[in-house]
Amino acid sequence: MDKLPKWADVALIPLINLILALIVSGLVVALIGQDPFEALAIMVNGAVGSTYGWGYTLFYATNFIFTGLAVAIAFHARLFNIGGEGQAQLGSLGVALVCLMVPWPHWLIALPVAILGGGLFGAAWAAIPAYLQATRGSHIVITTIMFNFIASALLVYLLVSALKAPGMAPESARFVEGSHLPTAREVLGAIGIDFARTPMNVSFIVALLACWGLWLLLWRTRLGYEIRAFGHSDKAAVYAGINPVRITMITMLISGALAGLMAINAVMGEQERLLQDNVLGAGFVGIAVALMGRSHPVGVFIAAVLFGALYQGGAELEFETSIPREMIVVIQALVILFTGALDGMVRSPLEKAFLRFRRQPDKPGVPAE
Amino acid sequence: MNYLDLIQILDSSIRLATPLLFACLAGLFSERAGVFDIGLEGKILISAFFSAAVAALTGSVWLGLLAGIASSMVFSMIHGLASITFRGDQLISGVAINFLAAGMTVLIAQDWFSQGGRTPQLSGGARFSPIELPFAEALSGVPFIGPLYADALSGHTILVYVGLLTVPLTWYVLFRTRFGLRLRAVGENPGAVDTAGVNVVRLRYAAVAICGVLCGLSGSFLATGLAASFTQNMSAGRGYIALAALIFAKWRPWYALGACLLFGLLQAISNRYSSIDLVLFEIPNAFVLALPYILTVVILAGFVGKAVPPRAGGQPYVKER
Amino acid sequence: MTAPAIELKGISKSFGPVQANKDIAIRVMPGTIHGIIGENGAGKSTLMSILYGFYKADTGEIFIRGERTEIPDSQAAIRAGIGMVFQHFKLVQNFTVLENIVLGAEDGALLKGSLSKARTLLKQLSEEYELHVDPDAKIEDLGVGMQQRVEILKALYRRADILILDEPTGVLTPAEADHLFRILEGLKREGKTIILITHKLREIMETTDTVSVMRRGEMTATVKTAETTPQELAELMVGREVLLRVDKQAATPGETVLNVENLQVVDGSGVERLRGISLNVKRGEILGICGVAGNGQSELLEVLGGMRPGKGRVTVNGQELDLTGAESDARTRRRRGIAHVPEDRQEEGLIMDFFAWENVAFGYHDDARYQRGAMMNNDAIREDAEAKIAKFDVRPANCWLKAKNFSGGNQQKIVIARELERNPDLLLVGQPTRGVDIGAIEFIHEQIVALRDAGKAVLLVSVELDEILSLSDRIAVIFDGRIMGERLPSETDERELGLLMAGITDTDKDHSVDEIEENLAHATGKAG
């Protein structure tokens, strides 16, 4: 029998971990002389108190869904992809190239091609670390970190040379009008709902589809079966005729592609031109999101919305108090720490408690499994 | 490039290698004991901040150094708690520590100094000053070795020399003492150490604590020796490069010195020549910046090949069942 | 009357919901060899780990030489004069013998002094107990027999006078095991107390003075060895009457199914694991491969099962197998009618975190029956799983249970069900009953024999000589990556097989243990 009921494993433990992370964050806020409850109120109100807040929350959440899913699928194959940041940067390059090269007549045509471009570039950036891990055993954690640095150098270079638009700033030209993605305001306005002007756009729907698609892939297809089997035991995978090199490659390509897809939201949907740092740490947030979401697409979705709210709330916090934005980074670090690394601190006492609770009805006559 | 250029590059290589060296040896102690640590970066950063902040507030670089080491130790203990006591994932704990440092430093800097996440400029007693090695003056006239000694080796701050001395010290502790024997054993087979009647947890905490001290030195040197203040995210990937150097060095102290000097040299070159103008084409600035990372990947892919990490590395110690 | 060397009273220990030890009492007199026998999972190792301070008992008391003693950790156990040789040796592979012996018992903070002191003491101990070993050899270069000596020396170096050995003969040849028992006799004569944990009845009968039997965490009996019989002990272990022999008809071999010629395997670090193996298996026949673990039998199964590349010529039903190319994987092997019950079911044969039904498809997950368009047909898999679980009496019969939540025997039944129900032409089976309770052992043996009787070829690898002798129709002995010879079970015995397992082919002559040791160390040192 499993030590914990399923609901405790997937809901209770992440919740306790999150609360612990928030309590410690509150202490940090108190330590720098601010009122944590006031800060919390500002954040909650800023994140979900208006359609404006919601719009930004879900806009950020869209980014985090993509990067979270990227980390999650790699986790299933027991690969730790810290390279979401760099893969998303390359994805932005792919999306930008698509949007700059062709005078798109309509976004419905531009979007699928942009998805392809972002996905391909992101996947390509994951391919080398994946290949080195699969065939040479180079630790993928280290190589993907290095690739983050290399990606940002590459983008810096391109934006002062080939892709640079006239003017001072290191950025590309604006994308063509036809590649503009409808925002939530435009979509909802068309059916008569008033929604604030926010960068939230149709990419959100693509993100939802990605969640569903990944769930289908992992639990309903042979490839997903093989990825999960490989993640649990690579020796067993070989026994079952699953090729470790192939699975490592495919998983990382999908992972990189998902991270790259973030660019359709951030670059195509919001910035509408290529900037130097367009990922803004979302690749790393993906780690926290995947950990909190237990690498399940539904969990990733919930965690991504939560982090979206955190980011939007954190931005409001900076406006209204003297707490800098980096507060979000602290909270994010604490979430990773509590849900990822200190999981055992909550889990083992909880397991003991459940065991004691369960042993009572386990009298003779009740067959124990 | 003439001989004096070379001397200057060597001089700055040694200086730039020092934070890497401290961090690399820090990682060496931790990983030799079976605790992987990708949180070197975060510990360097937090120590850099507290060193600079306390040095700025008190005017004493030594108090700054102590504060830096203390803060790095606190982060080490968090890593120990997560990966030794609660048997969590060591990689994830390291990632968390890096973010925690990135966020906390700016947060506290803003609260204390209100200068946009940096500390005031340090000067005078709040910085380490250069030390002239004996006879530097007298020997500087000697051709060839003279400038090498007087300009490249002499004239660094004390921490540089401490760093260089830490290499033989690490070797001695690891291979000539009881503590070193046990430390290496616990990274290879903690079960053997446990059944031999030695406390695995205490041993690993000791290793992690040493790692904290050395990262503290690294960060402190960064902010008060190499630079003259703390700036946001000033560690700039050094923790990761140190990790790469550690792998390159196959977890051995003398090799670690070599690897760190090499990476220091690379940084020195890229600092000096922001773009290298070859006759046919120009190597862009960005490429020079990315070179250490590219090289690390190349090293990881090729030359390292058979570097065997400590066998029990990365796994929490759980008695059977 | 002298106080017992060890007395345990009311020891209980639970791991989560599993009670491993239930109210255990035991007395061991000084200067005796005391056996503890029981099936896998009966709680023997747990009990001894408690005595060695590795686990902490929930309740109960420990008395050492009549005095109540608390043993919270191994340090305390060592202070109380207890030494333990674990089943899986606790040695640092890249340290020397000397470093391993000194570890944790150093004399002073610097190594230099303690190492030279230890060297002198080690020399004395080696001579006193005939435990010769090179102090400067690295552990990874030593054979398992040698490594075990290091473990014993480690305990003696710490002045242990109570020595616990957990399944010490699992990795030894019969001759090496005999030598070990002679050493233990010697230690006993010196007044040391020895506790021997084993599941082998023969060892108990031959070496111990008294024996305690454990079953399901309880101590069911303690008797004088001279006053009991193997049959009685077996019944006490299992709780019912057991057959110690497999019931089977003589084989009627048909045409050759598997033919192996000059098969060679080099592993990832360049070590030759198989050095030209040739053998064949016919329809309706079980070929047993016996040998000391680490002599290439695992690699033989793996290369045939498509888990690693090899060189040579292998045919199945006359068709040659691809040993290195794109078709050398396990998937293609299964399509060619080769089923494989791997040696390690937890690391290879099953995904412990998958449900039973998912595991029933494992390795056959691309079977057309399990597909529905681009998706997997999970309903079909579950239906199939339920049928197999029922037929092979897997308990509990719940296909929504994860593999890790079944007992060892039932896990193995899942693997056997999956592989045998494919009706293969050739079955590769490794250590079919390792860690399996006696009831399931009988069942598994019956299934393997039934497959043979259905006219299939079976290649059996086992380190249990009894299992090889009772199941096989023909026996091939493997040593250092070579086949040393083939025998018929009716025309050989343990002694002869034991010598072959040590690489000695002139089995008519007498051979000293040292000769055998040397031979083995040479081979396993190179291979290990």
Task: Express each pLDDT in C496-526 by its tens digit.
Answer: 898 898 888 877 777 766 677 667 666 654 4
What burial letters (b/e) apply to A246-273, b meaning 16+ CB within 10 Å? ebbbbbbbbbbbbbbbbbbbbbbbbbbb
CB contact under 8 A, B198 and C93: no
Average pLDDT, chain B: 89
Q: Which residues of B touch C112 (CB under 8 A)?
A: 176
C12 in any annotated domain:
yes
Q: How confident is the model at residue B194 (pLDDT cuts 50, 70, 90)?
A: very high
- Is 0.90 surpassed by the pTM of this model? no
pLDDT of residue C165: 95
**Chains A, C: CB pairs < 8 Å:** 80
Give the single-character DSSP code of A162. Answer: T
Q: Domain coordinates of chain A in residue numbers? A: 58-305
Provide the chain B residues 71-90 that lie in CB contact (below 8 A) with chain A. Answer: 78, 81-83, 86-90
**Per-residue H/E/C for C206-235:** HHCCEEEEEECCEEEEEEEHHHCCHHHHHH
pLDDT of residue A337: 94
CA distance B171 to chain C (A): 13
Contacts 24+ apart (CB under 8 A), C49-55: C50/C11, C50/C13, C50/C21, C51/C6, C51/C8, C51/C77, C51/C82, C51/C164, C52/B195, C52/C77, C52/C82, C52/C84, C52/C164, C53/C77, C54/B194, C54/B195, C54/B319, C54/C84, C55/B319, C55/C13
Q: Which residues of A touch C378 (CB under 8 A)?
A: 220
Q: What is the largest CA-CA distance in chain C?
A: 79
Which of A219, A228, A239, A354 is the best substitution to test chain C (most C C-beta atoms within 10 A)?
A: A239
| Out of A11-20, B270-279, C93-102, C297-306, least confident range | B270-279
Cα separation, C110 vs A221, whole angstroms: 60
Which tokens in the block code for residue C368?
């057309």
Q: Are residues C170 and C297 in the same domain?
A: no
pLDDT at residue C280 tops 50:
yes
CB contact at 8 A, B52 and B232? no
CA distance C101 to chain B (A): 9
Q: How confident is the model at residue A369 (pLDDT cuts 50, 70, 90)?
A: very low
Q: Which of C238, C268, C291 is the last residue of a domain?
A: C238
Quick one: closest CA in B to A348, which residue?
A: B86
CA distance B131 to chain A (A): 35
Residue C246: CA atoms inside 13 Å, Cβ hemisphere, count? Answer: 23
Question: What average pLDDT does the segment C309-321 reach?
Answer: 95
Q: List, for residues A51-65, the tens digit of each pLDDT value.
A: 999 999 999 999 999
CB contact under 8 A, B95 and A344: no
Residue C231 sits at the vertex; the CA angle it makes with C230 and C232, to the nearest 5 degrees, is 90
Q: How confident is the model at residue B284 (pLDDT cuts 50, 70, 90)?
A: confident
Contacts of B129 (CB under 8 A, 6+ apart): B157
Domain boundaries A58-305, CATH class: mainly alpha
Cα separation, A65 vs A305, whole angstroms: 8
DSSP string over C451-513: HHHTT-EEEEE-S-HHHHHHH-SEEEEEETTEEEEEE-GGG--HHHHHHHHTT---TTS---H
Q: Are residues C130 and C198 in the same domain?
A: yes
Q: Are residues C166 and C202 in the same domain?
A: yes
Q: Which residues of A touch B102 (CB under 8 A)?
A: 326, 329, 333
Which tokens in the block code for residue C417?
């069900």
Provide the chain C residues 288-317 that lie in CB contact (below 8 A) with chain A. Answer: 305-308
Q: Are residues C153 and C301 in the same domain?
A: no
Helix (H) or strand (E) holding B182: helix B178-188
Q: List, for residues A224-263, the tens digit of each pLDDT value.
A: 999 999 999 999 999 999 999 999 999 999 999 999 999 9
CB contact at 8 A, C200 and C40? no
Average pLDDT, chain A: 90
Which of C92, C97, C156, C167 is the best substitution to test chain B (most B C-beta atoms within 10 A)?
A: C92
Closest CB to B188: pick one of C75, C94, C114: C94
| Out of A27-41, A103-117, B185-199, C235-249, least confident range | C235-249
Q: List, for residues C224-262, the tens digit of each pLDDT value.
A: 999 998 888 888 887 766 655 677 888 889 999 999 999
Q: Which residues of A touch C398 (CB under 8 A)?
A: 369
pLDDT of residue B274: 65
Q: Look at residues A104, A125, A59 and name the one whose alpha carbon lies nearest to residue A264.
A: A59
Closest CB to B178: pick one of C54, C55, C109: C109
C297 in any annotated domain:
yes
CATH of the domain at C25: 3.40.50.300
Q: How many CB atoms lie within 10 A of CB A169?
A: 11
Cα separation, B307 vs C157, whole angstroms: 34
Question: Does A361 or A347 have the greater pLDDT score?
Answer: A347
Helix (H) or strand (E) holding A289: helix A282-292
Q: How many CB atoms lie within 10 A of CB C370?
A: 19
pLDDT of residue B280: 64
pLDDT of residue C405: 87
Q: List, for residues A3-36, the tens digit of each pLDDT value.
A: 788 888 888 998 999 999 999 999 999 998 889 9
Closest CB to A149: pick one of B108, B293, B302: B293
Cα separation, A179 vs A184, whole angstroms: 16
CB contact under 8 A, C331 and A233: no
pLDDT at residue C483 tops 60:
yes
Q: How confident is the model at residue A366 (pLDDT cuts 50, 70, 90)?
A: very low
C472 in any annotated domain:
yes
Cα separation, A28 vs A56, whole angstroms: 25
CB distance from B198 to chain C under 8 Å?
yes
pLDDT at residue B16 tops 70:
yes
**What is the number of structural domains in chain C?**
2
Q: For residue A175, which amino acid is it?
A: F
Average pLDDT, chain C: 90
Question: Does A153 or B182 have the greater pLDDT score?
Answer: B182
pLDDT of residue C302: 95
CB distance from C101 to chain B under 8 Å?
no
CB contact under 8 A, A161 and B284: yes
CB contact at 8 A, C7 and C23? no
Question: What average pLDDT does the segment C26-54 reach?
Answer: 90
CB distance from A16 to chain B under 8 Å?
no
CB contact under 8 A, C305 and A232: no
pLDDT at residue A162 tops 70:
yes
Q: List, for residues C448-482, the tens digit of each pLDDT value.
A: 999 999 999 999 999 888 889 989 999 999 999 99
| % of chain C at pLDDT higher than 70 | 96
CB contact under 8 A, B244 and A80: no
> In chain B, what are the domains?
3-132+142-301 (1.10.3470)
CA distance C363 to chain A (A): 4
Q: How confident is the model at residue A362 (pLDDT cuts 50, 70, 90)?
A: very low
C469 in any annotated domain:
yes
Which of B194, B195, B201, B311 is the best substitution to test chain C (most C C-beta atoms within 10 A)?
A: B195
Cα separation, C105 vs C122, whole angstroms: 13
Cα separation, C173 vs C498, whole angstroms: 6
Q: How confident is the model at residue B75 (pLDDT cuts 50, 70, 90)?
A: very high
Closest CB to C347: pick one of A233, A240, A369: A233
C377 in any annotated domain:
no
Q: Are residues C191 and C289 in the same domain?
A: no
| % of chain B at pLDDT higher than 70 | 95
Domain that holds residue C111: 6-238
Provide the ipTM: 0.91
pLDDT of residue C200: 83
Question: What average pLDDT does the segment B187-213 reach?
Answer: 95
Place of tokens 């690891």: B174
Q: Look at residues C513, C512, C94, C145 and name the one whose alpha carbon lies nearest to residue C293.
A: C145
Which tokens in the block code for residue B158?
């004390």
Q: Which of C238, C270, C300 is the last residue of a domain?
A: C238
pLDDT of residue C517: 66
> Phi then psi for A130, rounded to 5 degrees?
-65, -45
CB distance from B277 to chain A under 8 Å?
no
CB contact under 8 A, A323 and B107: yes
pLDDT of residue A23: 94
Cβ-in-10-Å burial (0-12, 13-18, 19+) of C241 comes to exposed
End-to-end CA distance of chain A: 6
Q: Are residues C62 and C96 in the same domain?
A: yes
Q: Are residues C290 and C233 in the same domain?
A: no
pLDDT of residue A363: 38
CB contact under 8 A, A141 and B38: yes
Q: Look at residues C13, C2, C104 and name the one whose alpha carbon lies nearest to residue C51.
A: C13
pLDDT at residue B125 tops 90:
no
CA-derived radius of gyration, chain A: 22
Strand C6-15, strand B282-283: pairing: unpaired
| % of chain C at pLDDT higher than 90 | 64
Cα separation, C448 vs C463, whole angstroms: 17
| Out of A296-310, B28-42, B221-235, C235-249, least confident range | C235-249
Cα separation, A135 vs C190, whole angstroms: 56
SS3 of residue C159 by DSSP: coil
Q: How many CB atoms lie within 10 A of CB C253?
A: 19
Quick one: closest CA in A to C302, which residue?
A: A239
Q: How confident is the model at residue B188 (pLDDT cuts 50, 70, 90)?
A: very high
Q: Are residues C29 and C120 in the same domain?
A: yes
Question: Does A369 or C498 have the greater pLDDT score?
Answer: C498
Which of C354, C382, C429 is the best substitution to test chain A (most A C-beta atoms within 10 A)?
A: C354
Neighbours of chain C (3+ CB pairs under 8 A): A, B
Q: List, for residues C71-119, the tens digit of each pLDDT value.
A: 998 999 999 999 999 988 999 999 999 999 999 999 889 998 889 999 9
pLDDT of residue C513: 66
Place of tokens 């190179």: C526
Q: How many CB atoms lie within 10 A of CB A353?
A: 12
Q: Which residues of A touch C304 (CB under 8 A)?
A: none
Closest CB to C348: pick one of A220, A239, A359: A239
Quick one: closest CA in C to B183, which residue?
A: C103
CB contact under 8 A, C347 and A235: yes
Q: Which residues of B touch C94 (CB under 8 A)?
A: 188
C370 in any annotated domain:
no
Provide residues of A within 8 Å CB-CB of chain C: 1-3, 216, 220-222, 225-226, 228-229, 232-233, 235-236, 238-243, 351, 355, 358-359, 368-369
| % of chain A at pLDDT higher than 70 | 96
pLDDT of residue C42: 84
Q: Look at residues B5, B8, B118, B124 and name the one whose alpha carbon lies nearest to residue B53.
A: B118
Cα separation, B7 vs B237, whole angstroms: 26
Q: Are residues C222 and C283 in the same domain?
A: no
Which tokens in the block code for residue C144?
């398992």
Cα separation, C58 vs C45, whole angstroms: 16
pLDDT of residue B241: 87
**Per-residue H/E/C for C377-434:** CHHHHHHHHHHHHHHCCCCCCCCCCEHHHCCHHHHHHHHHHHHHCCCCCEEEEECCCC
Quick one: closest CA in A to C400, which residue?
A: A1
Contacts of B131 (CB under 8 A, 6+ apart): B154, B155, B156, B157, B158, B161
CB contact at 8 A, A203 and C324? no
Q: Are residues C87 and C199 in the same domain?
A: yes
Cβ-in-10-Å burial (0-12, 13-18, 19+) of C512 comes to exposed
